[in-house]
Amino acid sequence: MSSGFIHLNIHSEFSIVDSTIRVKQIVAHAQQNNIPGIGVCDLNNMFAAVKFYKAAVAAGIKPILGAEVLVLDEHENIYSMTFLCMNHQGYLNLSELIAQAHQNGYHKNRPMLREKWIAKHHEGLIAISCNQRGDIGQLVLEKKLELASEKIEKWKIIFSNRFYLSIARVNRVDEKWHNEATIYLAAHHDVALVATNDARFLKPEDFNAHEARVCINQGLIVADPRREKNYTREQFLATPQQMLEKFEDIPQALQNTVEIAKRCNFGFEFGKYYLPAFPIPEGETEGEYFRRITKERLQQFLKKTGTAKGFSEEDYYARLKFEVDIILQMGFPGYFLIVADFINWSKNNEIPVGPGRGSGAGSLVAFVLKITDLDPLKYELLFERFLNPERVSMPDFDVDFCMDRRDEVIEYVTKTYGANQVSQIITFGTMSAKAVVRDTGRVLGYPYPMVDGIAKLIPNDLGITLPKALEESRELSLLKETDEDAGELLDMALQLEGLTRNTGKHAGGVVIAPSKLSDFCPVYKDNHSEGILSQFDKDDVETIGLVKFDFLGLRTLTIIDNAVRAINATYAHPVDISKIPLDDSKTFELLKKCQTTAVFQLESGGMKALIERLVPDSFGEIIALVALYRPGPLDSGMVDTYVECKHGRKEPDYMHPEIEEILKPTYGVILYQEQVMRIAQVLCGYSLGEADILRKAMGKKIPEVMKKQEKTFVDGAVENNVDESLAKYIFSMIETFAGYGFNKSHSAAYALIAYQTAWLKAHYPVEFMASVLSADMDHTDKVVHIIEDVKSMKIPVLKPDINHSDYYFKATKEKDAIVYGLGAIKGVGKGAVESLMQERQKEGEFTSIYDFCVRVDLHKVNKRTLEALILCGAFDELHPNRQALMQGMEGIIKAALQKNQDEESGQFDLFAMSSVKQTNEMPIPLPEIDDFEENQKLFHERDMLGHFMSCHPVSLLREWLSAIIPQTISSVLAQKPKDITPTDNDENRNRKFSGKPVVIAGLINSVRVRNENSATVLISDEEAEIETTFFRESYFANQEKMLKDEIVIITGDAGVDSFSNRYIIRANQILTLNEAIATYCSKIGFITSTPDYQKFSQQLINLIETHGKGKARIYIHHEQNGIVSNIKLGENFKIRPSWNLLKDAGLLPQVEKIVIK
């Protein structure tokens, strides 16, 4: 190595707390400065090891791997030490040390080593003191040179000539003294000296951004004078020349870095796979057992079920032999057996498991081992799509489990293979555009409104970056250019964006190692969690050869399981969801009517629109639906071709007779990746393994690869007597659509779940929808949406009730209704509900709110919980006056607590000693006050439940509104989207408007302002909701009336968003209730039977004087003693109509009813 200096201890961004240097920048620095090697030593971890190693090797740079680890000595002093891996043994020892620190070494919320662990696991490691942060450095700064000498000798005994002292010249406090003393100690103890720069950022000008990053982690303000300053501007990634200038008086300290680099020769060995051993019966090899068990399971299946239509038993045995041979040849039988074991354990323990996911459903071996539930021959699924002998890679079963019980399966695997061999997988969160702006603004001390304003200018697009945001938002880029503070904030945020900010846990990834995990990679453990995580992310775990198993939680499996349990607990004939017929007419009728809310994969507005067009009538078409509803097929015309051909409006183009059978099920459309593979096999003589390589190449669209594949394809087709020009045409068609092709195995597996949920909704709607609501209880918006669908199905939803509701929603057979779950009430926790349910089960129903408070645990059912239960109506059956309950609640709680206290202290009354059961009668009366107004009660319900339970506020006014505004939201939505003939579009090409006038009343649910010159206002009534959009002039004219929770009338014209298949309204005007009644009301009728007609007449005159004369004529319907009089008052008695007038008139005791027109 010719370079005069090599960085050995760089902290990368993966140190999380104190570096802004990205891995690619480290490697680029080495390349640009002709440095032959470079070392990364992140703090307490090796998160970046594989990424850094791969990048360095690819660039021709020698990677040096290690870590800086905190150490706790016997006197509880904390210091740092750097370890570098010399060889594989060193890597194993460093992995073990880091694992020990994370699993057994937490101190002051940080993982730390103990010196005795280092003494045990030192082989193959180079140890370097960490300047002033190290134990020697700290003793030197304390002027305890004798103790420092003793410590050096201790480390020399352990590490011999693998121990080094380090110095840096980065302008730290007391650095000069530290360096002089360290140089002396190194010479005195014959220990080599190493120069470092403790690099934490790339260039000197990055220091401020680095300080901001440190403060983001610490939650501090950069300018805080009390903040500890641990870093200097000199800690950049210096070049060898810059280091030579710093250490020209000690060149050996520089040369020693090169010598250390020469000693560090650890390298990962990629391309190997490490599987845990599956226990095999004595006397058999793994291969023999695997072959026997799969054959036995196939025999059992064929005996019980028989073959799929068009296939013989010989076909099944031949397919099984083919798959088993490949699995054994590739060395993966253990993988299949492990997966089968934990899946079958789950099924045996009644933990729902999905029918399959991804390409694994294409394996017959997986099917007979009960890993998947789909017969691949029946559905023409290909094994080579899953495991290709011509493209060696690990098999990868992604398995869906019931969301609530997934952790039980992971726990089973952990117990089976050992806690030190099983871990979940780490993930890394990064600083995203909006978050980094907010974080940076906070640590720079800018006011929140300013920072919030800048963040809101960043578009909400998924994966948006700051550079992209500055391109797209003229307002943001202009602000950066013209406002100095905004410019500083954004410049710094640009430097920090994308840096690793925190660690997390992969949603489902689990690693099972053949021995303890630290033999392969270091492990990470948060001080507040139980299990361990691999320190390498999912890609890096697979790169080093560990096998990842995906244990994914699928909410729909929980829904199906809970629904089936409820059904089987209620009805005489139990349901086995795995045995339902796949051609059920009632299910397909539900699909054809697009009643697919809560049906897995089929519930979005766009999917409903596709279902309406396609009209599925077989399970195969549900498989196609799952594959078709994606951006590629929708945008490419594939969907249109499929639909038109299905309904006979267009002839399918099969391109060649040889491939007609392959394309016939999809009407000539190349919808599935398996079809691409089969075409290449049948037409061109590819093996299915080769065809899978073609499929993958087409997905990547690499020009050189595609050119080569085209020649192979066309040559093969010509050999099979296909015309060359036709072969090229077929290849071009495959190439066009292969990028959109979907994995049929995955589509079929998810279509089965979709069908099962549709079947349950069609046959047991109450139980199914109760299960859906229970699964979504934590998401109020979803609950509201589902309840709307339940209502449309004419299924009653009974309001919460402390005597009849449980924590979850439930079906009640007696009323054929759904009982509201108390867990869906805001502010009501599971502990509170469990407390009241236990008491209710033990002692019977509650008789009053006082009885309730005496019997439940008021530590769990606290005041906030009680308020929520009252305001949502859960006590209505015991006492209907909610305001009286709210006013009397404090006194009732005190009385209940006092009674319980008296009983606990032995102060029983005489009746308590008798055998007569006591009742908890109210010791104090509730206040005699009026209940809340109906409108107030509704909004309380909305606050607690997320929606109006008793009725919608608009329904209270419906009689009056209907008289002047005949249209409702439902009547507008009743039009078919296709019936809207567009006359013009807005800026969004998906939105089309008809120009047909619309006038509707509704409550404003939400207002969303876009680009400060338009707004979307969502309004609802008792039956439906609709989006109304205000553009430019109409927005500015009406923005002051866009008030949430106000009932308004909106005028405009109807339109449709073709992408989401939603109705929208382009709005012109908002009218308040007063304005609407003034505009549309021309007649007001008063119905009365008062005997004092003279007094009533005077009251009407007073009304006219108060509200003023106007255009509305007054009519009076008077009935008394069987005599009916209809009176129309003259022109002089016309009144100005308004909402206030109607309210005031309604308060008159003589007025029984008011009618308007």
pLDDT, tens digit, 9 for 90 and up, residues 947-990: 999 999 998 888 888 888 888 888 888 776 555 555 444 444 45
Class of 286-427+506-555 in CATH: alpha beta
CATH architecture label of 953-1074: Beta Barrel (2.40)
Strands 1062-1072 and 1047-1057: antiparallel
Fold match between domain 286-427+506-555 and domain 428-504? no
Tokens coding 719:
């050999």
pLDDT at 912: 47
Whether pLDDT at 19 is above 90:
yes
- Once rounded to an integer, what is the mean pLDDT over residues 994-1006? 85
pLDDT at 391: 73
Is the CATH code 1.20.1050.10 the one for domain 13-200+235-263? Answer: no
* Segment 52-93, tens digit of pLDDT: 999 999 999 999 999 999 999 999 999 999 999 999 999 999
* Confidence band for 696, pLDDT divided at 50, 70 and 90: confident
Measured CA to CA, the distance from residue 551 to residue 706 in angstroms comes to 36
- Once rounded to an integer, what is the mean pLDDT over residues 119-146? 97
DSSP code per residue over 516-583: -GGGTS-EE--TT-SS-EESS-HHHHHHTTBPEEEEEEEHHHHHHHHHHHHHHHHSSS---GGGS-TT
pLDDT at 994: 57
CA triplet 504, 508, 514: central angle to 5 degrees?
Answer: 100
* Confidence band for 913, pLDDT divided at 50, 70 and 90: very low
Could you tell me which residues come within 8 angstroms of residue 1048 by beta carbon, excluding any fewer than 6 positions away? 1001, 1002, 1003, 1004, 1019, 1041, 1070, 1071, 1072, 1073, 1076
Any idea where the domains of the chain sit in the sequence? 13-200+235-263, 286-427+506-555, 428-504, 631-741, 764-945, 953-1074, 1081-1156
C-alpha dihedral (1050, 1056, 1062, 1068), degrees to nearest 10: -20
* Least confident piece of the model among 85-89, 457-461, 1055-1059: 1055-1059
- Is 1120 in a helix, a strand, or coil? strand
Whether pLDDT at 2 is above 60:
no
* Confidence band for 500, pLDDT divided at 50, 70 and 90: very high
Q: Where are the strands (E) in 99-218, listed by range?
A: 106-107, 110-111, 113-114, 125-129, 163-168, 193-196
In the numeric block, the tokens 């709005």 are attached to 1067
Tokens coding 944:
């607690």
Burial classification of residue 302, based on how many CB atoms lie within 10 Å of its CB (0-12 exposed, 13-18 middle, 19 or more buried): middle
* Segment 461-496, tens digit of pLDDT: 888 999 999 998 889 999 999 999 999 999 999 999
* Confidence band for 1115, pLDDT divided at 50, 70 and 90: confident
Return the number of other C-beta atoms located less than 10 Å from residue 921's C-beta: 9
pLDDT at 914: 42
Return the number of other C-beta atoms located less than 10 Å from residue 1058's C-beta: 18
Tokens coding 523:
């492990």
Q: Over the range 972-1008, which residues count as b (16 or more CB within 10 Å of their CB) and which as e?
A: bbeeebeebeeeeeeeeeebbbbeeebbbbbbbeeee
- Once rounded to an integer, what is the mean pLDDT over residues 778-797? 91
For 428-504, CATH gives: 1.10.10.1600
The amino acid that residue 717 corresponds to is: A
Compute CA distances 1145 → 89, 510, 823, 1099, 1120, whole Å.
92, 70, 42, 9, 20
- Once rounded to an integer, what is the mean pLDDT over residues 371-389? 92
* Segment 920-947, tens digit of pLDDT: 777 788 999 999 999 999 999 999 999 9
pLDDT at 976: 60
- Once rounded to an integer, what is the mean pLDDT over residues 1029-1037? 90
In the numeric block, the tokens 């790169």 are attached to 543
Q: Are 489 and 445 in contact (CB under 8 A)?
A: no
* Segment 443-452, tens digit of pLDDT: 999 999 999 9
Measured CA to CA, the distance from residue 563 to residue 682 in angstroms comes to 45
Measured CA to CA, the distance from residue 769 to residue 786 in angstroms comes to 8
* Least confident piece of the model among 332-341, 470-479, 501-510, 1133-1142: 1133-1142
Measured CA to CA, the distance from residue 297 to residue 370 in angstroms comes to 9
The pTM (predicted TM-score) of the whole model is 0.85
Strands 1047-1057 and 991-1010: antiparallel
Query: Mean pLDDT of all residues in the chain?
Result: 90
Can you name the residues that pair with 506 across neighbouring β-strands? Answer: none
Measured CA to CA, the distance from residue 207 to residue 198 in angstroms comes to 13
The amino acid that residue 554 corresponds to is: L
Compute CA distances 766 → 162, 531, 559, 582, 762, whole Å.
72, 39, 13, 21, 10
Q: Are 101 and 525 in contact (CB under 8 A)?
A: no
H/E segment holding residue 1124: strand 1123-1128
DSSP code per residue over 768-815: HHHHHHHHTTT-HHHHHHHHHHHHHTT--EEPP-TTT--SS-EEETTT
Measured CA to CA, the distance from residue 1025 to residue 453 in angstroms comes to 30
Can you name the residues that pair with 617 across neighbouring β-strands? Answer: none
pLDDT at 602: 96
pLDDT at 911: 47
Whether pLDDT at 910 is above 70:
no
Percent of residues, the chain, with pLDDT higher than 70: 96
